[in-house]
Amino acid sequence: MIILACDHAGYELKEEIKAFFNKQNITTIDVGTYSKDRVDYPDFAKAGNAKVLENPNNIGIYICGTGIGMSIAANRNPKIRAALCESTKLAHLARAHNNANVLVLSGRFTSKTKAISIIKEFLTTNFEGGRHQKRVKKLNKIV
């Protein structure tokens, strides 16, 4: 399942992404926000994380103004590996090398077209494991 979360600055891009998924008949869970009214991104990162962690196959897509705040907030949970990606190459590496389970986008600096390309790459790339598995495992031990 794809979990969508955003703050007010990511709302418009989230709605465009949700419309894209709807056209593809892909079901998403939208944990908000549901308008451009000012909200606090940590609340929505927390709500998104809760849904992502319900099933190991779930993937989150979080959006805030720059993507930085959502990345910081999401990564407070040691079971979340959120990656702010501004290109398909970074999205590929985030999945292949880091087994990222949350893609973070910038609502202010990412066009719909670019976001869709990044999302497609993120969703179609598998974790390579191998030498990367040891490193990902260490992430849970960082204090």
Each domain of the chain, given as residue ranges in start order, spans: 2-139
97 belongs to the catalytic site: yes
The C-alpha atoms of residue 85 and residue 67 are separated, in whole angstroms, by: 9
| pLDDT above 80 (res 15) | yes
pLDDT band at 142 (very low <50, low <70, confident <90, very high): low
Choose among 98, 31, 96, 21: nearest CA to 63.
31
> How do residues 33-76 score in pLDDT, each as one tens digit?
999 999 999 999 999 999 999 999 999 999 999 999 999 999 99
Selected catalytic residue, list 8, 92, 97, 132: 97
| CATH architecture, domain defined by 2-139 | 3-Layer(aba) Sandwich (3.40)
Task: Supply the pTM of this predicted model.
Answer: 0.96
> How do residues 87-126 score in pLDDT, each as one tens digit?
999 999 999 999 999 999 999 999 999 999 999 999 999 9
